A = this chain, B = another copy of it.
Amino acid sequence: MVTDPQTTYADNGQIWIRFARYFSQVANMVFYAPIFRDYFWRNLEEFRADNVQYIELRSSLEGVFDLDGTVHDEEFGLQLYKNVTDEFVKAFPDFSGAKIIRSGSRNSSADKILEEVKTAMYLHKKYPNFMIGYDLVGNEAYFNPLLFYIEALLYPSMQNPPYELPYFFHAGETNWQGTSTDDNLADALLLNATRIGHGYALIKHPKLRHLVRERNIPVEVNPISNQVLHLVSDPRNHPMTALMADNFPIVVSSDDCATWEALPLSHDYYMAFMDLSGQDADLTFLKQLAINSIKYSQMEQHEKKRAMKLWQAKWDTFIKQIILEYLLDCDYNGSKCDL
């Protein structure tokens, strides 16, 4: 914890170093199998307490260990997530569930990524409604661009018949035009990404913007992350303000919220509402964001329908509560209410 983060971590490169260290600091602690179960259960609890009813989580799936030295494989990790999710949904039927995106690291070798893609195909085939696809994470500016892994990433579509492994690439998490991070955005789209993580650079690429709109590819926007990692200081300059105003398919996400001790999602919603919208934005803005998050999820149609129904009931209750509070407030103050 530092009191002057702007000075201590003066730019995106410096804060990334500290940010990356966080993960190695906590990894050993949470990857011990019994703890990992509790950890993920608590994760779901906190999301639910934050009024989030469904999540899609990126995870490496690797590295869960037991005290006898066993390091479990990816399928073990996936099953652990699945079991905990199933139990949680049973315990809390108002929670719609979770799905997993298997995420590799941009500093791996091309061979390693090819193995991961193959495993991801296997897991996606075996658990099609839980393991929903593949992504690559890590500092785009310091590690390899998507192009470096092109053979691995094209592997599924080169099979006979082609295998459709959905991609959820982090891409274009930069404000620096013409860099390889910037190019990642083009490659993510050329690789038929199902959804784009960050896509911060999208605003500067008219052709890619056109493509995103035409294919209706949702972009996951992470307002707090972008500020913490020095992409933007005053979030009113966030490029997604323009794309949101232009009705692009945007969902608000929270990236690595635990790292900066933000709430699971509502702090990011708050920032989106205060800064990424206009001064004249109202409840309809928040409502649209919530609807988008279901609409652009990877739930199946019947799951979406059920989730929307659940959400609509919660929304209606929320609105009724607000109105009630307002009425009580009027009564208490003896003031006139214009409802």
Contact = CB atoms under 8 A, between A and B. Distances in A.
* Oligomer copy total: 2
A237 B236 contact: no
Interface string A195-221: 000000001111000000000000000
B279 A245 contact: no
Contact of A177 (B177, B182, B277): B277
Contact of A182 (B176, B242, B278, B281): B278
A175 B233 CA distance: 12
B178 A278 contact: yes
Interface in A227-248: 230-234, 236-239, 241-242, 245-247
Contact of A233 (B177, B234, B241): B234
A129 interface: no
A241 B281 contact: no
Instruction: Determine which residue in A230, A232, A238 has the highest number of CB atoms from chain B within 10 A of its CB, and name it.
Output: A232
A68 interface: no
A242 B203 contact: yes
A261 interface: no
Contacts of A176: 236, 279
A233 B235 CA distance: 11
B278 A245 contact: no
A316 interface: no
Contact of A246 (B206, B233, B236, B241): B206
A280 interface: yes
A242 B245 contact: no
Give the interface centre of A204, A231, A241, A281 by most chain B CB atoms within 10 Å: A204
Which bucket holds chain A's interface residue count? 20 to 34
A179 interface: yes
B204 A242 contact: yes
B245 A280 contact: no
A279 B204 contact: no
A241 B242 CA distance: 13
Contact of A205 (B236, B237, B245, B281): B245
A239 B240 CA distance: 11
A277 B278 CA distance: 27
A177 B236 contact: yes
A57 to B, nearest CB: 29
Contact of A281 (B178, B232, B242, B277): B178
B245 A204 contact: yes
B233 A178 contact: no
Nearest to A238: B237
A278 B247 CA distance: 26
Contacts of A179: 279
B236 A234 contact: no
5 contacts: A175-B237, A176-B279, A177-B277, A178-B280, A203-B242
State the 5 A-B residue pairs at the shortest beta-carbon distance, nearest first: A178-B278, A177-B278, A178-B280, A178-B279, A233-B233
